[in-house]
Amino acid sequence: MAPGKKVVVFDYGFGNVRSAERAVARTGAAVEITRDLDAALNADGLLVPGVGAFAACMNGLRAARGDWAVGRRLAGGKPVLGICVGMQILFSRGIEHGQESEGLDEWPGTVGPLKADIVPHMGWNTVRAPDDSALFAGLSPEDRFYFVHSYAVHDWELRTTHAAQAAPKVTWATHGRPFVAAVENGPLWATQFHPEKSGDAGARLLTNWIETL
């Protein structure tokens, strides 16, 4: 449990904010749904959800100045967690229906169509997390998480990091081809799946994040 921790779920019109709020509240943290920038900047943790199209989410985030809030928090080393399309928009660009859109460019890489026979990828799947992952601490390779998506990052492109910083930890899942399922990179963490819909495993994962705040 994480009493005393304050988490803001950023409400920019493109996310399952109520589900995220309930899941975070179950960890014992205080949680608020808002697009207030002061609240977003000053919370212990900022959760950025996302559903729908990459371009629409980016437009909504920019309209709410959420891109600025994410950038300011990360510049100050303050934790941010992106979920689903809230993870995808952290990459450099997204390509949907042949249209390219700019992302937040926190990580190099392209979000593109899933390379699988069955799309969307909808349902439960296992993941392959690094042994030293803090996000997946206490979870086993048999634990399953809930995915709903038609696009993903198939290639992790960030190969180097500053000598004083730990290398990013990248978790993978497979649907057709392997794709990035989660990332831990300094204060910026993200999941392609929905921890708020992933039962006990998702609850443990959210608790792991909040305990690091």
Active site residues: 84, 194, 196
Q: Which of 193, 42, 210, 179 lies closest to 114 in space, CA to CA?
A: 179
Give the whole-angstrom CA distance, residue 121 versus residue 103.
Answer: 22
DSSP letters spanning 112-147: EE--SSS-SEEEEEE-B--TT-STTTT--TT-EEEE
Token pair of 36 as six digits: 């207030």
Q: Which of 116, 124, 131, 173 lies closest to 148 in space, CA to CA?
A: 124
Give the whole-angstrom CA distance, residue 133 versus residue 212.
Answer: 12
